[in-house]
Amino acid sequence: MIDSEYLELLRCPHCAPQEAGALVEIRKDWLSCSDCKRNYPIVQCIPVMLPQEGDRWRNTQAADLPVIESHNRFVSVVK
């Protein structure tokens, strides 16, 4: 669970220059961009806002995203 005030400050790194890029918490371990539908994992309470993560998980349905466990520091190697 990401603090709502903190979440309001976060923006999708892909969209932020042109679009709002607001993020919503679609699961306790995933954020999703309202504009481009890229998804970003939350690892140990820290959103991993790397463009390659967003690209990898773009348009993936919430139910199909992997469960992020506390030891999954490098999400791209998991799945």
Structure tokens at 55: 């690209």
Token pair listed for 66: 């992997």
Alpha-carbon gap, residue 50 to 12, rounded angstroms: 9
Residue from the set 10, 26, 27, 35 that interacts with Zn ion by CB under 5 A: 35
Which residue among 30, 31, 32, 33 contacts Zn ion (CB under 5 A)?
33
Q: In the set 14, 39, 42, 43, which binds Zn ion (CB under 5 A)?
A: 14
Q: How many residues of this chain interact with Zn ion, rule: CB under 5 A? A: 8
Distance, in Å, from the CA atom of 14 to the CA atom of 9, rounded to the nearest integer, reads: 15
* Site membership for Zn ion, residue 31 (CB under 5 A): no
